[in-house]
Copies of this chain bind each other. A is one copy, B any other.
Amino acid sequence: MKAFQAHPADLADELKRLPSEEAREAIRKLPRDQAAAVLIELDREVWPDVLADLKASELVGLIEELPNDVAADLIQDLPLSERRGVLAGLTKERVSEVAALMKHAWDTAGGIMSNQYLAFQKGETLAQCQEKLRNLAEVSEETEISYLYVTDDESKLVGIVSLRDLVFGHPNRPIEEVMKPDVKHVWVDDDQEQLAQLFERYHYLALPVLERGGQLVGIVVANQVFDVLQHEATEDMQLMVGLSGEERALTPWPKSLSRRLPWLCVNLGTAFLAAAVVGLFEETIAAWTALAVFLPIVAGQGGNAGAQTLTVIIRDLALGEMSPGDGRKALAKEVLLALLNGLVIGLIVGVVGYMWKGSLLLGVVVGTAMVLNMIAAALSGVLVPYTLKALRIDPALASSILVTTVTDVAGFLFFLGLAALAMRW
């Protein structure tokens, strides 16, 4: 590894590509501060693997270099037996700082917040606050001094101060006279997805994190939210088609296999359902084999139209852009679109069917089935994610597989059913 000049994110990248053995070896060989920097950048899911060989004393050395929130993640990951040994190796102050962050689930505001901010107490003069700031300057390089808060005796957040006002105000003024009250905040147990939506929607640079009682316990800064946003977007795309939500192109194959195969089996089950529908009409097809030629067209078009509707709905749901009532409006719009698209596509397919096979009846049957299947696609594209949501399941989960099932089954039923009726007539 070309260690010394590369950015930790790039080193982490190389590390991920190494076999576990070599990755462990590499992280051990790095100077502690660099190993810590690399660890920060590594996906949390590969940590156990990379850190498996380290002794408690080595872990302590590493944790000493980590910021509190990352240290908390690491310690939370350890088996309880190891955890005790590691905590024993840290200073009392460090343990209490880290422990304060450990009780929060990783996917909440508490889990991603940092405690690198500065809080002054109500009643302090600007001179006192400036002195605090000056002293701090020598202690920590990481504290985000752009975010200066004011709390009361009970550590409850009462205001925010701009550094400018703090530095240029009259030294004898109490801090509460220059602070801005009514600070926007998030709760410590807020879900990270909601949090990301807030940042995305209102373009905050940072938000203070409060306990439900109002105590200031941390801040979340904009750049910490990037990963959440990317993670959520990737997850949506992946869940739709039956992936884990966390798969990467170079995720080791046994892991990929264990997540993909079960969903492929689910898909197989739904495919048998569609096949059973075709099976119902085997005699019809035996008597009129041209029908078999049009099966993939009816199913394929329905599948694509359904995927269009589904993709739009899933994304708007994920971005929190659907208000109550919007679902109904979207459904109406999608059905209208399906009707219009269906008429155009149905007409083309109908004409081709007539010209290709010389049968007007085939043209009418396949054209009509197409219109109906487009409507089925629109309905399922909206209703599948909304139903999953109502069941408190992620609206994206396997939704593409479900919608395709509807469009296959409905498409074959409409098409072959109409054909059977037409033949009888």
A271 & B300 in contact (Cβ 8 Å cutoff): yes
B226 & A200 in contact (Cβ 8 Å cutoff): yes
List residues of chain B with CB within 8 A of the CB of A247. 312
List residues of chain B with CB within 8 A of the CB of A249. 312-313, 316, 321-322, 326, 329-330, 333
B204 & A223 in contact (Cβ 8 Å cutoff): yes
State the CA gap A229–B278 with chains docked (Å): 44
A237 & B202 in contact (Cβ 8 Å cutoff): no
State the CA gap A312–B253 with chains docked (Å): 13
Q: Which of B164, B200, B291, B337 contacts A253 (CB 8 A)?
A: B337
B297 & A295 in contact (Cβ 8 Å cutoff): no
List residues of chain B with CB within 8 A of the CB of A323. 13
Q: Which of B167, B200, B233, B333 contacts A256 (CB 8 A)?
A: B333
List residues of chain B with CB within 8 A of the CB of A7. 202
Q: Which of B146, B200, B304 contacts A242 (CB 8 A)?
A: B304
Is A361 part of the contact surface with B, judged by Cβ < 8 Å? Answer: no
B250 & A330 in contact (Cβ 8 Å cutoff): yes
Is A98 part of the contact surface with B, judged by Cβ < 8 Å? Answer: no
Q: How far is the CB of A70 from chain B (nearest CB, A)?
A: 12
A286-311 at interface with B (beta carbon < 8 Å): 286, 289-297, 299-301, 303-305, 307-308, 311
Is A109 part of the contact surface with B, judged by Cβ < 8 Å? Answer: no
List residues of chain B with CB within 8 A of the CB of A295. 278, 292, 295-296
A300 & B408 in contact (Cβ 8 Å cutoff): yes
Known contacts A237-B311, A341-B260: A297-B275 contact under CB 8 Å = yes
List residues of chain B with CB within 8 A of the CB of A237. 233, 236-237, 311, 314-315
List residues of chain B with CB within 8 A of the CB of A401. 304
State the CA gap A356–B282 with chains docked (Å): 13
Known contacts A253-B333, A267-B301: A230-B293 contact under CB 8 Å = no
B250 & A278 in contact (Cβ 8 Å cutoff): no
List residues of chain B with CB within 8 A of the CB of A299. 296, 299-300
Mind listing 18 A-B residue pairs with CB under 8 Å?
A167-B167, A199-B226, A204-B223, A226-B229, A242-B304, A242-B308, A249-B321, A249-B322, A261-B344, A264-B305, A267-B301, A279-B356, A282-B293, A296-B296, A299-B300, A300-B404, A304-B400, A307-B400
Chain A residues within CB distance 8 Å of chain B? 7, 9, 13, 133-134, 137, 145-146, 163-165, 167-168, 199-205, 221-227, 229-230, 233-234, 236-238, 240-243, 247-251, 253, 256-257, 260-261, 263-265, 267-268, 270-272, 274-276, 278-279, 282-283, 285-286, 289-297, 299-301, 303-305, 307-308, 311-316, 319, 321-323, 326, 329-330, 333, 336-337, 340-341, 344-345, 348-349, 352, 356, 400-401, 404, 408, 412
5 nearest A-B pairs in the assembled complex, by CB-CB distance: A233-B233, A222-B222, A271-B300, A249-B330, A241-B307
